[in-house]
Amino acid sequence: MPTDSGKKVIILYILQILQRYTDRDHSLTQQQIMEKLRSDYDVEVNRATVRRNLSDLIDAGYSIQYTEVVRSQVSRATGETEENVICTDLYYEHDFTEPELHMLIDGLLFSRSVPYRQRRQLIDKLGRLSSVHFNQRMNHVRCMSADSPQNPELFHTIDILDEAITTGRQVRVTYNFYGTDLKLHPSLTGDGQPRRQTLNPYQLVASEGRYYLICNNDHYDTVSNYRVDRITGIELLETPVKPRSQVIGLEDGLNLQEYVYQNPNMFSGKTENVEFVIPRSAVSLVIDYFGKHVSFYDLEDGQVSCRLMVSGEAMKHWAVQFANIARVTAPASLVEEIRGELRKACSLYDITD
């Protein structure tokens, strides 16, 4: 029999058994719970003890589901037939459904910022939020090693940026670029020293599998987007952030959803009304990239005119990438910039005609 201290933890053992071994598709009877107590914790209890502790857990609000079954038995005391209600097919209703956990895990699998080791640890932690049956299927999930170099300071940087945004304080950072040695190298000052930048952080956002910081470089008056995985040596300052009203592009506040749509792939820069023409067959491609904030107008010969408010830099990048199907028609200044980029591309391939 369990000691007094052992009796007190039996209720925790039962809860752990339900959380570990059960879910909506896998339940246990009270008899099976007794067997798990014996095999996993070397504890012998009777059915009345299991029933009492289950009742206490349910009364305490734990998400334990069960089926009530009426069973008849003859009372030894009276010899009469009595009906008892038995709770069976018990399972723990986890906070996350298996499809929800799969979505979270898939997000980590395709993250290009989180280092491999941390991704593996986070996926294992997410797997423990469900039963062993889910974890058995997780053995088929493989966390591929990163296809690009990883910044081991990433989580620390995110933690400091979160505190800075919450408390409204500036940060000082070193911003880096990758070299041919696949390592991060800092941008340098004129005398060859790592350049330290003071930033006013406003919002962290995940886009295309990477983390970005929407901020303002304190030496300028425009909004910028910094890749968080390229930040090292972050330092939290005591000085307050520059008010958003003093930053061009944030004068009217930061509507995050609108900002992300207007700055696809987190290209910063002035937003403007842009028009371009595509074949009707490319409409899905445009929606995939720019979302639903595009107005479409039918033209002749199966062509479609598209209009939206978007960062000029983002649009220039997209137009060059899809120059074989898309033609920007306005504004004229952006058209000329794209022509310049395409002339450079042609010169690289010795295209003169």
Amino acid at 65: Q
> CB under 8 Å to 312, separation ≥6 — which residues?
269, 270, 271, 272, 274, 334, 337
The domains of the chain, with CATH numbers, are 4-92 (1.10.10.10), 98-138 (no CATH), 154-254 (no CATH), 271-348 (3.30.70)
Per-residue pLDDT at 185: 92
Q: Given the DSSP bridges, would you call strands 196-207 and 210-217 parallel, antiparallel or unpaired?
A: antiparallel
Tell me which H or E stretch contains 50: helix 47-59
Is the bond preceding residue 331 a cis peptide, omega within 30 degrees? yes
Query: Are 205 and 260 a contacting pair, CB within 8 Å?
Result: yes
> CB under 8 Å to 335, separation ≥6 — which residues?
328, 329
Per-residue pLDDT at 146: 53
Output the CA angle 173-178-180, nearest 5 degrees: 150
| Spatial CA neighbour of 123 closest among 136, 140, 109, 137 | 109
Model pLDDT for residues 100-127, shown as the tens digit of each residue: 888 788 777 766 667 777 878 888 888 8
What is the full DSSP assignment across 257-323?
HHHHHHSGGG--S-EEEEEEEEEGGGHHHHHHHHTT--EEEE-STTEEEEEEEEEHHHHHHHHHHTT
Q: How far apart are CA 279 and CA 65, in angstroms?
A: 55
Q: What is the pTM of this model?
A: 0.64
Amino acid at 290: F
Per-residue pLDDT at 186: 94
Which residues in the chain come in under a pLDDT of 50? none
Model pLDDT for residues 1-48, shown as the tens digit of each residue: 565 556 689 999 999 999 999 998 899 999 999 999 999 999 999 999
Q: How far apart are CA 269 and CA 254, in angstroms?
A: 14
Per-residue pLDDT at 138: 65
- The 10 Å Cβ neighbour count of residue 257 is 9
Amino acid at 349: Y
Alpha-carbon Rg for the chain, nearest whole angstrom, is: 30
